[in-house]
Amino acid sequence: MTTVLMISPGYPAEMALFTRGLASVGARVIGLGDQQRADLPPAARDALTHYQQVRSLADTGEVLAAVADLLRVAGIDQVECLWEPYMLLAAEIRERAGLPGMTVEQTAPFRDKELMKRALDAAGIRTPHHASTTTVAGAWEAAERIGFPLIVKPIAGAGSADTYRVDDAAELDAALQAVCHVPRISVEEFVDAEEFTYDTICAGGRILFDNICLYRPRPLPARQHEWISPITMALRDLDVDYLAGGRAMGAAVLDALGFTDGFTHMEWYRKPDGEVVFGEIGARPPGARTVDLMNYVVDADLFAGWAEAVVHGRISAPLDRKYNAASIFKRAHGSGRITGTTGLDSLMQRYGDHVVTLDLLPVGAHRRDWRATLISDGMIVVRHPVLSSALEIADAFAAELQLHAE
């Protein structure tokens, strides 16, 4: 039986489903985290054979000491971590314990956008023109060399947090003030294009499952404007010419970075002239419940599929792509507590057969901070085998469903 050390098995919430997945494929799972065991989601708590709590996962010394204690009493075969901030910690544990998997050197490009782009540039993969800097002067020098419009964002980060498009000198000055708390930033070319994901589960250097999502609109404007209901559409048919360039580029990225086992989440752009440009990659699954979205495309459990891939080197479940599936994230009008919705009854009458998840904050619940979580005040997942119909349904929920708060 393979014994897996799972770092942070209960947070973020989706980690509990991956932890359960490990147990479901026959692994013995030891959890290491800074939550109390009683506070773990039941899916994680029930899947663990042992749980080691530390005061803080950010205290590397404490974590390494705890792992050393575990190694004295239990054999550990591999270390898994799917939460972005602690990828390097997992790599350091592997190196200290002599365990297989990604090393610190191999992991670094997945956490440092500049290192990642340099590696891909060396492999001949098209990335946005870019530079990294720790100073205001360095940012201005990069802007002069690359030219406007630009994107300013953290070197190590996830999603669109602290990310700004700048079109001129005044906007660059404002963006640099806004990211003054970020130790090192990336200044890169703004690519005017459609934006997609490329998500994979790999084992032994083979892609066992891949997925492409389309963002409507692009994540940056969706994060900037509260009135937008962002849509993530997981596409059914990947074998179309329109996606071929991005799909091939994603495979080339995995090869260039030497990624062999686990989940990856990539973002890429397709320009109006057909050129594809690579954005970035994380050695982790996508967030905002996008793995759920993929599950609805194939009618399978990819939490368990990932686990089977990293433990046994395969995915046994059939992964036939049956649907296009879309998440629509809603943000209430007003502040304070949810008072109700409009448009939902009509939408359900028209499209209810295609709604697979309806998870909105109830009346009386306090609004979430839409800047801090894409899920915001709730989400709807719809699916349909025909892409045009799936887009029509998703757009209708985005435009017509309103949540209200006061």
- When mean pLDDT is compared across 90-94, 155-159, 336-340, the lowest value belongs to 155-159
Owning domain of residue 59: 3-101
In DSSP terms, 266 is beta-bridged to 198, 281
Cα 348 to the chain's mean position, in Å? 29
Domain shared by 218 and 283, yes or no: yes
| Chain position carrying tokens 């919430």 | 13
pLDDT reported for residue 160: 59
The mean pLDDT of 198-224, rounded to a whole number, is: 94
Pairing of strands 338-342, 355-360: unpaired
Domain shared by 35 and 19, yes or no: yes
Q: Where is pLDDT greater, at 223 or 322?
A: 322
Q: What is the SS3 assignment for 340? A: strand
pTM value > 0.85: yes
The mean pLDDT of 248-253, rounded to a whole number, is: 98
Domain shared by 216 and 311, yes or no: yes
pLDDT reported for residue 173: 86
The answer on pLDDT for 153 being more than 90 is no
* Band of pLDDT at residue 293, cut at 50, 70 and 90: very high
Residues with Cβ within 8 Å of residue 309, at least 6 apart in sequence? 201, 202, 203, 208, 261, 262, 315
134 vs 187: CA distance, rounded Å: 11
Share of the chain above pLDDT 90, in %: 81
81 vs 41: CA distance, rounded Å: 17
To which H or E segment does residue 44 belong?
Answer: helix 42-47
- Residue 331 in contact with residue 373, Cβ under 8 Å? no
**CATH number of the domain to which 284 belongs:** 3.30.470.20
Domain shared by 254 and 117, yes or no: yes
The mean pLDDT of 112-127, rounded to a whole number, is: 92
pLDDT reported for residue 4: 98
Domain shared by 91 and 231, yes or no: no
Domain shared by 337 and 215, yes or no: no
Domain shared by 115 and 238, yes or no: yes
pLDDT reported for residue 158: 59
**CATH number of the domain to which 160 belongs:** 3.30.1490.20
Domain shared by 108 and 241, yes or no: yes
Domain shared by 22 and 93, yes or no: yes
Count how many domains the chain has.
4
Domain shared by 113 and 239, yes or no: yes
Domain shared by 118 and 261, yes or no: yes
Domain shared by 89 and 138, yes or no: no
